[in-house]
Structure 1
Amino acid sequence: MLAVFLETLPFFALIALGYGAGRTGFFPPEATAYLTKFVFYFALSAMLFRFSATLSLGELWDRDFVCAYLLGTGAVYLLATLVALLRRRSMAEAAVEAQCAAIGNTGFLGIPMLALLLGEASIGYNMMVLAVDLVVFSSLIVILVTISREGRLRPRVLGTVALGLVKNPMIVAIVAGLAVSALGWTLPAPAMDFLVLLGNAATPGALFAIGASLATKSAERLAVAGWLTTAKLLLHPAAVALSALWFFEVAPYPAAVMIAAAALPVAGNIYILAQHYGVAPQRVSAAILLSTALSILTLPAIIAGVLALP
C-alpha cells in the first residue's frame, strides 16, 4: 500500500496546491471557474477524443462490465435514497444525497490518475463508468428533483435532459472519437500532436481546479457528510466489487478498474446541481470536502487491493 500511496501523493499534492491558492485568495473563484471550463471543454475533451479515436466500439462496450457497475452503483444509490427518506428528507434531497453516495470524480480525477496507476488500458473502462454516470445517474437526479417539486414528469424535462447530454463536451468527445475510429480514419501527425499537447494539460489543470474549488466549500453538517463519505469511499467500491466479481464474473483487470473508479471521492459537479436547484448545497459541499480529504488514505488502500487481484 505504501508504494501506491507514494504514487498517488503527487496527485493529492496538486489538489492541495490548488486548495492553498484558493484559500489564500491568490486564485479567486472567478479564476477557478475559468480553469475548470478550460479543462472541461478543451483539455479533458482532447484527452478523451484522442483515446476514443484509437478504440473500437467493441473495445469500449462490455455488457457485463456495464451491468456490474450499474448493479453495484444502483444498490448504493437506492440505499442512500432510503436512508434519506427514513430521515424524513424530501425526494429532491434524497436524490442529491444518493448522487453523493454513488457518483465519483471520474472525469477530473479518475481518468488521469488511474491511467498512470493502472495503465492506459484503464481509460476505456473509465470511459464506460463515466458514460453510465452521465447518461443514467446525472439524468436521474434531474428527473427525481423535478418530480419532487412538480409532482409529475413533464415531457419538456426529458428534452432538457437529452439536450444536456448532447451538449456535454465529454460525451461529444467520446462519440466523435469513436466515429473517427469507426470510419477507419487516421489522424494526421500534427493533429495528434495537438491533441496530446492539449490533453496533457488535463491532469494538472483538473487537479489544481479540484483543490481551488474545495477552498470555497464548507464543512457544515458533518454527520450527514460523514455518512455520505463512508458510502462513497467504502460502500460503493464494496458493492461494485461484489457485483463485478460475484454476480457477473468480470475479468480481473476491468474489475480492478471499476472498483478503483468506484472508490473515487464525491464528484464536484454534484455541488453545481445542488446549488442550481437549491437542494442541500451545504451537505454536498461538506461531502465533497470530507471525501476528497479522506480519499488520500482510502483510495491508495483500495487500489493496492485491486492490484493484488489474481
Structure 2
Amino acid sequence: MSGVVSGFTVIFIVVGIGYLLGRTHVLGDAAHEVLSRLVFFVCTPALLFHSLVTSDLSVIFSKTLIIAGGSALTIGAIYLVVARLWLRIEIPELAIGALASSYVNSVNLGLPIAIFVLDDASFIAPLLLFQILLYSPMALITLDLTVTDPALGHASRETTLRDAIVTPLTNPILLGGITGLAISAIGWQPPAAVMEPMKMLGNASVPGALLAFGLSLTGVAVFKKGQSPRRQIALASVLKLVVMPASVYVVARWGFGQSGHDLFAQVVIAALPTAQNVLVYATRYRRAQIMARDTALITTLGSIPAIAVIAFLLA
C-alpha cells in the first residue's frame, strides 16, 4: 500500500506543477498543445517501443486484452441502450456518449499510473493498442454513416472508410507498439545505440504527459446550466468511474480467476478517465462536443479518488 501512496504522490506533484505552469503562463499560451504533441508523436511511441521490445509477448496477448477490450465494448453498448431508451437522443450523440463512457485515457494518465502505481507499463499496452486499432475505426465509421451535417461536405463521407483504416496505421503510438511487438516476436535485441535513445525519450513520456494534463486543467468550466447535457454526462461518468471498474472486478476475479496484483491492475485500468480522443471525434463531426469535453474533465477529476479507493481495497 505504501508503494501505491508513493506512486500517487509523485503523480499529484507533477500534475500540480503543470497546473501552476498553466495558471502563471510561464511556458506561454501554446504550452499544452506543444507538450501534448511532443508526448504523443515522440516520447510515448519511444516508451511503448522500448517496453514491448523488453517484454514477454504473453503479457500483451493475455487476459488483459480480453478483459479490457471486452469491458470497453460492453460499457459502450450499455450506454447506447440506456441513453436511447431514457434520453431519446440521436445516433451520433449516442456514439460519442458510448465512447465517453468507455474509451480510456491510456496515455496521459494510463501510462503514468501503470508505471508509478502498477510498476509495469506493459499493463496498459493491450488496451492502448485495442483502442487505436479497433475502437477508433469503429467510431469513425459509425459517425460517418449517421452524421448528416452538410458542413462536413461529401469529401469527408467518401474518405472516412479509408481514414478509418489508414489513420490508425499512421498513429505514431501504434507504429511504436507494432514495431516493438515485431522485434520482440522475432527475438532480436536491437543494439544499445538504438535502445538507449528510445529509453531516454521514453523516460520523458510520463512527466511530459502529467505536465500536459496539469496544463489542461486551467481555465475550463464544466457542467454549466443550460449548456451542458447533464443527464448524458452523468450517465457516461457513472458508467466510466463506477460500473466499468466494478464489472471488470467481477469478470477478472470470477471469470478469469485473477487475484492480487493482477486483479488490482485490471480494475485500476478500468477506472481510468475518458480519453481526449472522444472530444477530437466530437469536434470533427460537430456533435456532442460539450458532452465529450465535460465528461472527460469530470471523469479525470473523479478517477483520482476512485483509483485511491480501489488501491485501498485491493492493493
- TM-score of the pair, normalised by structure 2: 0.87
- Is 1:129 aligned with 2:127? yes
Q: Which amino acid aligns with 2:267?
A: I
Post-superposition Cα deviations, 1:203-248, rounded to whole Å, max 9, x if no partner, equal: 1100111122232543032553333222211111111122222233
Contact between 2:8 and 2:116, CA under 8 Å: does it hold in 1?
no
Counterpart in the other structure of 1:18: 18
Question: The residue matched to 1:104 in structure 2 has which SS?
Answer: coil
Indicate how the Cα distance of structure 1 residues 19 and 89 shifts in structure 2: closer, same or farther if over 3 A, else same.
farther
Post-superposition Cα deviations, 1:14-69, rounded to whole Å, max 9, x if no partner, equal: 2233233334444445221111110011111111000111234334212x433333
- TM-score of the pair, normalised by structure 1: 0.88
Question: The residue matched to 1:219 in structure 2 has which SS?
Answer: coil
- Is 1:163 aligned with 2:166? yes
Structure 2 distance, partners of 1:306, 1:17, is 29
Aligned length: 303
CA drift at 1:2: 7.8
Of the candidates 248, 261, 267, which is equivalent to residue 256 of structure 2?
248
Q: Give the fraction of aligned pairs with identical amino acids, expressed as a percent.
A: 26
Indicate how the Cα distance of structure 1 residues 225 and 24 shifts in structure 2: closer, same or farther if over 3 A, else same.
farther
Indicate how the Cα distance of structure 1 residues 56 and 141 shifts in structure 2: closer, same or farther if over 3 A, else same.
same
Q: Which amino acid aligns with 2:173?
A: M
Structure 2 distance, partners of 1:59, 1:295, is 25
Indicate how the Cα distance of structure 1 residues 20 and 223 shifts in structure 2: closer, same or farther if over 3 A, else same.
farther
Structural RMSD (CA)? 2.5
Counterpart in the other structure of 1:300: 308
Of the candidates 177, 199, 223, which is equivalent to residue 202 of structure 2?
199
Counterpart in the other structure of 1:82: 81
CA drift at 1:251: 5.9
Contact between 1:73 and 1:239, CA under 8 Å: does it hold in 2?
no
CA drift at 1:103: 1.5
Structure 2 distance, partners of 1:284, 1:111, is 22
Structure 1 distance, partners of 2:111, 2:68, is 16
Post-superposition Cα deviations, 1:239-281, rounded to whole Å, max 9, x if no partner, equal: 1122222233346543332211111111122212211211111
Counterpart in the other structure of 1:188: 191
Structure 1 distance, partners of 2:124, 2:4, is 19
CA drift at 1:128: 0.6
Counterpart in the other structure of 1:175: 178
CA drift at 1:9: 2.7
Indicate how the Cα distance of structure 1 residues 29 and 265 shifts in structure 2: closer, same or farther if over 3 A, else same.
farther
